[in-house]
Amino acid sequence: MVLEKLSEGLKSTLQKIAKAMFVDEKLINELVKDIQRSLLQADVNVKLVFELTQRIKDRIIKEETPGALTKKEHLINIVYEELTKFLGGDKSELKLGDKTPNKIMLVGLFGSGKTTTSGKLAKFFMKRGKRVALLGLDVHRPAAMDQLAQVGKQINVPVFILKGEKDPIKIYKSFEPELKKFDVVIIDTAGRDALSQDLIEELKNVHQLAQPDESLLVISADIGQAAQTQAKAFHEAGAITGVIVTKMDGTAKGGGALSACAVTSAPIKFIGVGEKVDDFEQFNPKGFVGRLLGMGDLEALLEKAKEAITEEEAKDIEKKLLKGEFNLIDLYNQMEAMSKMGPLGKVLEMIPGLGQLSMPKEMLQVQEGKLKKWKHAMNSMTKAELEDPEIIDAQRIERIGKGSGVSTSDIRDMIKQYKQSKKMVKMLKGESPEKLMKKISRQAGPKLKF
Ligand code: GDP
Ligand code: MG
């Protein structure tokens, strides 16, 4: 995961609290020091670190522990809440107007990741059923147009470029009628080595003409806290509505970059977590901090599920989760959706409490072969059995096995997985992420017992 070191530091701090006998001044001081050390190592600005830990300390001392929580739980909750606020608080959605094409302009210095991110963002919208086009206005780098064309080809998105033309305004105007055919147009612009007057002029001119719904500063995480100066300068030039922090995967300084952007009041909308087109996430401070602290991220999981299956299906599963209903068909659909979500490790990371709960990881190991067998077995089951697998006894298993050609042990395995998932679903029923976190911490094994 990103910010692995920071995550490890924070997790071990929480475990130290979990293991401590009492919540006393000594423990609080240790907690504060630990958090400071972890954040400073992630290149978070010293002043910001001290302000944050002071707030944490003040709250621990001043606030009464709510009745439903233990003192330790309360302490951990304060750390979670303050870190979340520190990274911007609520998730900042893109603000796209009703009029299409919606336009999103990406701006930033050389090498920050604009062109790569153009492709990622295009894919993001394609997954949501939008017609997307890329417009190349980087007239400064000779190979820029070819690079964008390559990105577009890879994801099968039309790319509008005009090689040899040195005036971005002319390029924009020449394609303006074409662009009207799309829902979303992503505009890749030219960078510079530093924020120069020349760059600001160019961006302002393009901005004025294109009137983008969002213009997002693309900034590389490896510059750490220096991101603040950059974000502030672009923000003050009136040039941006938000930030995308790239290369979160390749640096230990990402904490510095994220917190620096958060204080400039230019909200972080996305993060880039790798070179590939799918290595891209909407930035949600709550979920992000939850994952850093090892608490899982139900919201992000549901969001990924939405991409893998249609919105309607996702709503259905969500509804069923909320109602606590869950049958074999749901399990099958969920497994199928998960298998489309990508690397299992990434998915597992997002499941609340996994690893800490007494739930075997194999439960979620999705293999295509297994899914096929399930499908065969399910075809031999009656409607009543599918809707209420609890009624499936040894005799029925025998019958299903014969009918489908699937071994009885595979069928038993499927039913076992169903029962385990149902238990989890019951536990998650209708919980907000915060409540869920508390519940998990209470149910967790010795490692996370507060
Ligand atoms: P531009 O000059 O702003 O258009 O930057 P590019 O899109 O050309 O990217 C510069 C380099 O950064 C390329 O080698 C990209 O592959 C790399 N890059 C961009 N985003 C990410 C990211 O999220 N993670 C990693 N590891 N590399 C990235
Ligand atoms: Mg570029």
Q: pLDDT tens, 42-66? A: 999 999 999 999 999 999 999 888 7
Packing angle between helix 71-86 and helix 433-443, nearest 10 degrees? 140
Q: What is the pLDDT of residues 216-275, one digit of tens each?
A: 999 999 999 999 999 988 888 777 999 999 999 989 999 999 999 988 878 999 999 999
Residue 419 has pLDDT above 90, yes or no: no
Ligand at shortest distance from the CA of 139: 2
Higher per-residue pLDDT: 364 or 26:
26
From 115, 116, 146, the mutation candidate for ligand 1 (largest count of ligand atoms within 8 A of CB) is: 116
Task: Please report which ligand is nearest the Cα atom of 190.
Answer: 2
Angle between helices 25-41 and 46-62 (to 10 degrees): 160
CA distance to 226, 265, 292, 331, per residue, from 348 (Å): 33, 32, 14, 16
Superfamily of domain 300-443, CATH level 4: Signal recognition particle, SRP54 subunit, M-domain (1.10.260.30)
Give the residue whose CA is nearest to atom 28 of ligand 1.
275
4-86 under CATH 1.20.120.140, yes or no: yes
HEC string of 235-268 equals HHCCCCCEEEEECHHHCCCHHHHHHHHHHCCCCE
172 has pLDDT over 90: yes
What percent of the chain has pLDDT above 70?
Answer: 78
CA–centroid distance, 124 to ligand 2, in Å, is 19
Q: How far is the CA of 164 from the centre of ligand 2 (A)?
A: 16
Which residue's CA lies nearest to atom 27 of ligand 1? Answer: 275
How do the domains of the chain map onto residue ranges? Answer: 4-86, 102-293, 300-443
Q: Nearest C-alpha to atom 5 of ligand 1 is from which residue?
A: 113
| 115 CA from centroid of ligand 1 (Å) | 7
Q: What is the CATH code of the structural domain delimited by 102-293?
A: 3.40.50.300
Atom in ligand 1 nearest the alpha carbon of residue 111: 2
Q: Which two tokens stand for residue 445?
A: 């094994």
Burial of residue 295, with CB atoms counted within 10 A of its CB: 0-12 exposed, 13-18 middle, 19 or more buried: buried
Tell me what pLDDT residue 297 has.
44
| Residue ranges around ligand 1 (CB below 6 Å) | 108, 110-116, 191, 218, 246-247, 249-250, 272-275, 279
* Terminal-residue alpha carbon distance, the chain: 25
Cα 45 to middle of ligand 2, angstroms: 29
Between CA 397 and CA 390 the distance in angstroms is 12
